Structures are given as C-alpha cells and as structure tokens.
Amino acid sequence: MLAANGLPQAEEFFSSQQLIGNLNQVVFPLFFRRVDGACVARRSWEIAVELNPQLSRDLRPIAVSPKVIPIIFAFRSNTNAIAGKALIDAIQQIHFKPAGQQIVALYQSHGFVVKPLTVMKNTMEMVRQYERLPAQQARSRRGPA
C-alpha cells in the first residue's frame, strides 16, 4: 500500500517498527497516544472493539488491506486422485485434532475448505501489482521518455 502511493518501503517510511503478539499492548498505546499507528488483523480489531467500544469511537482505520488467501494447497495434474482426495479430506478435518487446532488458530481461521482457484484472483492481483511497482517507480523517477 505504501509503494502504491509512491511512498518508501515500511523500513524506511516508519521511524520504528515492533512486532507485538498481545493485542492490548498494540491497541492501548495507540488509544492513549503513546504510539502514532498500529497494524492489526481485522478480526483482532473487531474483538478489541467488542471488548472496549470506546476504541471504535476514538480510533479509525486509515487503510484496510484487501482480503487475501493466507494459505493454499495445490496438486500437480497427474497426482493420484485417491491420495489427493485423502489429503483434502484430512485437511478439512484438521480442526478436530489438538495440533490441527493450533494450526487453525495460527491462521486465525476456523478450518480449511475447498474452493475454486478463482478465489485466488484478488490475492494474485495484489502480488502482481506489488511486483510491477519497482518498474513503475523507476520510470516515474526518470521522467517522461
């Protein structure tokens, strides 16, 4: 999003960055004006607002990223159909096992589902746009041809 708006990469644009795993340690410093900004997952923000409605009255998102597909499993076209189906079935049942619940929690999800490849359209377009940006920025720095 920074690059799309002609701004430098996050490491250069922001004076500092910290990765903080506790939502309260991210949102409350922002609320009490000890930090200028924060990035949180949409679901985490919704939970924080649900627990403290004043957050939504005093804080506003300045940018929201498009929805992306965080993980994808793909198979070669010549994959054994029986083995592929067995793996898909196991992945769809993963949230019933303790280790699977940890994986699902890591992705802040409820489980994995089979979807057509078309659901990747927005995610892939965002990646393509990001890949095009360096060339576009170089052209704009050189000026008109």
How far does the chain reach from its first CA to its final CA, in angstroms? 26
Whether 127 maps to a domain, the answer reads yes
Whether 43 maps to a domain, the answer reads yes
Whether 13 maps to a domain, the answer reads yes
Whether 70 maps to a domain, the answer reads no
Answer yes or no: do 45 and 7 share one domain. yes
- What is the chain's mean pLDDT, rounded? 84
Domain count, the chain: 2
Answer yes or no: do 12 and 46 share one domain. yes
Domain residues for 33?
3-58
What pTM does this model have?
A: 0.57
On whether the CB atoms of residues 87 and 102 are closer than 8 A, the answer is no
Whether 64 maps to a domain, the answer reads no
Answer yes or no: do 97 and 52 share one domain. no
Confidence bin at 107 (pLDDT 50/70/90): confident
